Structure 1
Amino acid sequence: MVRFENVGLRYDMGAEILKDLSFSIAPESFQFLTGPSGAGKTTLLRLMLLSLKPTRGLITLFGRDAATLDKDAVTGLRRRIGVVFQDFRLLDHLTTYENVALPLRVQGREEAGYRAEVVELLRWVGLGERMGAHPPVLSGGEKQRAAIARALIMRPELLLADEPTGNVDPPLARRLLRLFMELHRSGTAVVIATHDLALMDQFSHIRRLVLGDRRLTVYE
């Protein structure tokens, strides 16, 4: 699903910030991406999403060489990916419900066919009472959960999540991890970037991609 071969990244003429990255993400797999703050976890997720281009090396996404893709092809591949980044990207003029339902509306689906699904997901992430609220009145944790729900509603083939449990308490963090596990069991490949070692230790069987000193080490 995702393959990196000797990928490196530098900005302008500076030193490489990521170096010789070689790994793959299999379909229907689950992995944590971890490492110290500033190691480049968010940057690596953006490379996977093709919103950054590597300085060198080969990135393959869904069997396509990223270097050969035009803008329309990249857009098409991204529709198969669910993304949760730390800036949330919620639309302030839409309610929580409308933000989560937006990808379905863009697809042209009728609300009658998806309303129950959106409501159920919002209740699962603890936003059942906040469906009519707009993002400016939501807390950071509530915005994060809304962004997670929006990423999950399309049942993507690949989910990239950057610190998705960073603004929630431990019980809700575990609940969200179980939600990601359920998505994984339904066939989605999941990559969760986190520095929460205590949370990862509760799921010690999960594969880990560890960034450090500009390189990546894989622990199966």
Structure 2
Amino acid sequence: MSSFGGDGLIRLENVGLRYGMGPEVLRDLSFRIDRGTFQFLTGPSGAGKTSLMRLLFLSLKPTRGLMTVFGHDVTTLSRGTLPTLRRRIGVVFQDFRLLDHLTTYENVALPLRVMGKAEADYRTDVVELLGWVGLGDRLHVHPPVLSGGEKQRAAIARAVIGQPELLLADEPTGNVDPTLARRLLRLFQELHRLGTTVLVATHDIALMDQYDARRLVLNEGRMHIYD
């Protein structure tokens, strides 16, 4: 089947990516991520997982090939269109990207504020979600005070609070213990049940083995798919 059949929320056809004049870090990628699916992205360190996640979040454009996100050809997107599309995506990066001048609560609430929602309408949801990820007693502290694992959980809460159409999570369980890792995956599954398309990048084979989900396996910049 062509990667451009079906209800492809994201579609790539012969996509390649390189940085500057260096070698391609992603090569000849042709696949789709259908709306409403839950999938894992895996592969060895240096395989290109983070580069692919950045591509899907629209912080990079393909060097070659065709890629569409929400039906838009990303190579022809104007700079003004990008923020609108990114607001439809929740993302958890390995470097967390929390704002140090905002409290944990304010960081998590930020996507809702950007949407123009009133605090009275979302405060309870933010507090409940922070309790769910184990940060109920860290609402009013700033990121420099948080541990790496706490920052990670705050970044996850921020990514899911707005129930995005697409969630991209890059190693979201890398700094937490197995019990909390399963709890966070349950959070992603609940978001998926509510309609969000979810892609989780991880190297944790044992964690993936607990779930019946499609695996996209990157190795040396090339994609192998296991349904």
Q: TM-score, normalised by structure 2?
A: 0.94
**Equivalent AA in structure 2 for residue 59 of structure 1:** M
Question: Which residue number corresponds to residue 187 of structure 1?
Answer: 195
Which residue of 96, 100, 105 corresponds with 1:97? 105
Which residue of 53, 59, 62 corresponds with 2:67? 59
Question: Which residue number corresponds to residue 88 of structure 2?
Answer: 80
Q: Is the 8 A contact 2:48 2:220 kept in 1?
A: no
Deviations 1:110-161 (A, max 9, x none): 1111100001100111101111111111000000000000010110000001
Q: Is the 8 A contact 2:13 2:31 kept in 1?
A: yes
Pair 1:112-2:120 in alignment: yes
Which residue of 164, 175, 178 corresponds with 1:170? 178
Query: Residues of 1 paired with 2:101 and 2:19: CA distance?
Result: 35
Shift of 1:12: 2.5
Q: Which consecutive aligned stretches of 4+ in structure 1 deviate over 2 angstroms post-superposition?
A: 11-15
**Equivalent AA in structure 2 for residue 156 of structure 1:** P
Query: Residues of 2 paired with 1:181 and 1:87: CA distance?
Result: 23
Deviations 1:45-74 (A, max 9, x none): 111111111111001000111112101112
Secondary structure of residue in 2 paired with 1:18:
strand
The 5 A counterparts of 1:117-136 are: 117-136=125-144
Query: Residues of 2 paired with 1:170 and 1:202: CA distance?
Result: 12
Question: Which residue number corresponds to residue 159 of structure 1?
Answer: 167
Pair 1:68-2:76 in alignment: yes
Which residue of 158, 169, 173 corresponds with 1:150? 158
**Equivalent AA in structure 2 for residue 174 of structure 1:** R
Query: Residues of 1 paired with 2:102 and 2:58: CA distance?
Result: 27
Question: Which residue number corresponds to residue 14 of structure 2?
Answer: 6
Q: TM-score, normalised by structure 1?
A: 0.97
Pair 1:217-2:224 in alignment: yes
Aligned residues: 219
Share of identical aligned residues, percent? 73
Q: Name structure 2 gaps, 5 residues minimum.
A: 1-8
**Equivalent AA in structure 1 for residue 221 of structure 2:** R
* Root mean square deviation, CA, Å: 0.9
Query: Residues of 2 paired with 1:107 and 1:185: CA distance?
Result: 23
Query: Residues of 1 paired with 2:16 and 2:114: CA distance?
Result: 35
Secondary structure of residue in 2 paired with 1:71:
coil
